[in-house]
Structure formats: structure tokens, C-alpha cells
Structure 1
Amino acid sequence: MASQEDLNNLITAIANDVNGFIGASIVDVESGMPLASASRRPDFDLEVASAYNSEMVKAKQKTIAALGLNANLEDMLLTLDSQLHLIKMLSPTLFMYLAADRQSTNLALLRASVNRHTAGFEV
């Protein structure tokens, strides 16, 4: 498993690469607890966001199973009028949650950065 330093370095690398970075966390799917997190906005509660996003991931995994799909969840995108939220699965039990200002970045750049930094990342 990746060390705490590895998780923190991953978030830092993405934060430095994504314009409009608001916050990110690496989350345990089952518990909803962030294993690492960083936010540039003190009012952006990553613990709450992590917990609720883990419920969305679990619901989508249940949907995939209920439909009998032979597929794995790769990522999920939530678009708000002012923000982009990306959930990227790192393993079946861990995901990265990232929020960015929609005026400062776009979906293609956000996904490219996350995919580049998580490619080959061992969890």
C-alpha cells in the first residue's frame, strides 16, 4: 500500500498542476474516511465531501452489479455551475475526489492531469 507521504505527494502534484484547484482527498470507499487531503479553501470541508462521495461510489457499484454489467467504475464527474468535481477510482477500495473552479479549468485538462498523475500509482 502507498505510504502517507505518497498519498500526500500525489495530491500536491495534482494541486500544483490543476488551475482552479479547490481541494482533493484520497478516500476509503467503505468507511468514507479521507486517508489524505488538501484544500485551498478553509470553508471547503473535505471530510464531509469524502463521506458523501463514498456513498455515491457505493451506489454506482451496486447499480453496476444489479445490471449485471461486466465493468468496473473508472471515474465519475459532477458538474456544478461554478465547480467541477471528479471522482477517480484508484483501486476497488480507494478513490480520489477532486474539486476545481469551473472558470479556471475544463474537464479535459482536469482529467488529463489526474490521469497523468495517477497512472501507475500503486495503492
Structure 2
Amino acid sequence: MGNVRETLKSALTLEGALGVALGDWKTGMCLGYAGTDNSAFPVANLELAVAGNTQVIRAKLRVAQALKLDAGIEDILITLTNQYHLIRMTQAIEGLFFYLALDREKGNLALARYKLVQLEKSLVI
């Protein structure tokens, strides 16, 4: 079992990981973050990214409700020209999400999704 800091450090071991954070979409608060200090995605931006992507999650939940979709959100992918930004909702702890910025050339999106699922299982709050 890992606490937030250990879990986020483990996520950074992914090839191409630029930064990762754990956020609460209900409050917009960042519970923790870790980054590589890469100029492509400064660590200081992670708290802002959590707050901003809280609005993305809320909007998607409103749309899903309006469409009467009978399924929960697992993740949301934002594809930039040089990065993937993956928002992964935690299934075990309601209201929390991982935010991962991944270099498109170096990273493996499928592996990143798998790793976040595994990390959630060991997350202790």
C-alpha cells in the first residue's frame, strides 16, 4: 500500500511521464503532485491543471447525465500535438482522479492507463 507521495513518484517511472497529480474533482483541490521539472510541462502547472480539469470532469458528468448514460467515466484523454493528458477517475475512492501528462513520442498510452489502474489499487489516503 502506498501513500499519495509514493504513488505519484511511482507514476513518474512511466517512460515519457512529465508530471502527475492526484486531485479531488468535487472541490478542485490538488492532494499531491510530482513532476520531472521538464520545460515541456513545468511542475508548477500541475496544481493549476488539477483545478482546470476539475471543470472538464464536471462538464463531462453533466453531459453523461443529460444523455442518460448508464455508465461511469473511467478516463478522459486530451491529445495535444506533443503530449497526452490523461484524466483517470479513481474507482475505489469517489471524487478523486489522477492527472498524468505524458510525452507522445516517449510514452505509451496503454501502459500509462494500466499503471494508473494498478497504482489506484495501492493508494492509501
User: Structure 2 length as normaliser, TM-score?
Assistant: 0.85
1:46 to partner: Cα distance: 0.7
How many angstroms apart in 1 are the aligned matches of 2:37 and 2:29? 19
The answer to whether the aligner puts 1:36 opposite 2:38 as a matched pair is no
How many angstroms apart in 1 are the aligned matches of 2:65 and 2:16? 35
User: Structure 1 length as normaliser, TM-score?
Assistant: 0.86
Contact 2:4 2:124 in 1 (8 A): no
1:92 to partner: Cα distance: 3.1
Pick from 8, 11, 14: which aligns with 2:8?
Answer: 11
Corresponding residue of 1:50? 50
Pick from 96, 100, 103: which aligns with 1:101?
Answer: 103
Q: Percent identity?
A: 34
Contact 2:3 2:124 in 1 (8 A): no
SS of corresponding position for 1:73: coil
How many angstroms apart in 1 are the aligned matches of 2:107 and 2:89? 21
1:41 to partner: Cα distance: 2.1
1:122 to partner: Cα distance: 5.3
Contiguous gaps of at least 5 residues in structure 1: none
After superposition, the Cα gap between the structure-2 partners of 1:122 and 1:67, relative to the gap in structure 1 and judged at 3 Å, is: farther
Report the count of equivalent residues: 119
1:120 to partner: Cα distance: 5.7
How many angstroms apart in 2 are the aligned matches of 1:98 and 1:70? 26
SS of corresponding position for 2:86: strand
